[in-house]
Amino acid sequence: MPDAKLNYVICPDASGSHRMAYWQWGNPQSSHVVVCAHGLSRQGRDFDTLAQALCSQAGDAIRVVCPDVVGRGRSDWLKDPMGYQIPAYAADMLALLAQLKPTTLDWVGTSMGGLIGMVLCGQPDLPLPVPVRRLVLNDVGPAMQWQALQRIGEYLGDTGCFSSLQQAADALWASSTSFGPHTPAQWLAFSKPMVKPLAGTPGSLTLHYDPAIAVPFRHVTPESVAQGEAALWQLYDNIKATTLLLRGAQSDLLAPQTAQAMTLRGPRARLVEFEGVGHAPTLMAEDQVRTVVSFLLD
């Protein structure tokens, strides 16, 4: 299968504008678009396995678009680090969707990408080209556990210096064992897009993202998380898209009681849990891929 094609969209911001990169799989003319949005410190190539599976099954009938959220991957870095927050990311996605012009739209969001999806689906007055038809929330919901946010904050912003891809992959695994079992080859491939050459240090690598994405995250407190929870539940309750909720059975971010509540209110999500996985399923394992592909293409 041909590799993903790299594209860009210009997004306005308080300093003028920035470019957001996105990786496109499948038929570039297809009006059925599946957007896959990654987690906080990740990038769009996280979805290579899922995108290939979707395109293999749907053929020319689908286009899979995997953005690098601003500050990550091939996207620009912001001048003002306080712009690294969900409302700004959602605004960028509106610019992307205006460029893509889908007539059928599905959304797959892992962690932060799921929150972006909730913002887009839960506000009916947003200028979406078409409402989201099917929504996949991967290990995230309106209520998030403070201990998990603290854990993420311990490594966020430390982009490191590595002498080889393998050293970088080993370091990433140390903070990502909750992603669940992967073969060494899988993890190395998964880690390759996570690094880039370190400027001024020939032969060295560093993580792909702007360390300043951690700046707004440092302002998060238990109180602010609790205050935001009510607003997120309101967004969730407004969602009209058919919704699939994925949860790592050992997730420390999405509590079982939150996941259960999400099946009973709002879009009444269908819940699927994966044993041996925490936060968050990488959508590389066969059962995870099969679950998402069948939900989106049925």
pLDDT (tens digit per residue) in 241-281 = 999 999 999 999 999 999 999 999 999 999 999 999 999 99
Over the stretch 123-139, which tens digit does the pLDDT of each residue have? 999 999 999 999 999 99
Q: Which of 32-36, 82-86, 129-133, 219-223 has the lowest mean pLDDT?
A: 219-223
* pLDDT of the residue at 184: 95
Q: What is the pLDDT of residue 298?
A: 86
Average pLDDT of the residues of the chain: 96
pLDDT (0 to 100) of residue 20: 98
Give pLDDT, residue 94.
98
Q: Determine the average pLDDT of the residues in 100-124.
A: 98
Q: What confidence score (pLDDT) does residue 290 get?
A: 98
> What is the band of 217 on the pLDDT scale with cuts at 50, 70, 90?
very high
pLDDT in the model for residue 200:
87
Q: Give me the percent of the chain exceeding a pLDDT of 90.
A: 93
Selected from 1.10.3720.10, 3.40.190.10, 3.40.640.10, 3.40.50.1820, the CATH number assigned to the domain covering 5-154+221-297 reads 3.40.50.1820
pLDDT at 81 over 80: yes
Q: What is the pLDDT averaged over residues 107-115?
A: 98
* Domain layout of the chain by residue ranges: 5-154+221-297, 160-207
Poorest-pLDDT segment among 100-104, 125-129, 212-216, 217-221: 217-221
Percent of the chain with pLDDT over 70: 100
pLDDT over 70 (residue 296):
yes
The pLDDT tens digits of the residues spanning 174-209 come to 989 999 999 999 999 999 999 999 988 899 999 999
The confidence score (pLDDT) of residue 1 equals 64
Instruction: Find the farthest-apart pair of alpha carbons in the chain and give their distance in angstroms, rounded.
Output: 54
Quick one: pLDDT at residue 109? 98
Q: Give CA separation, 39 vs 30, 156, 161, 209, in Å.
A: 26, 12, 22, 12
Read off the pLDDT of each residue in 168-176 and give the average, rounded to a whole number: 94
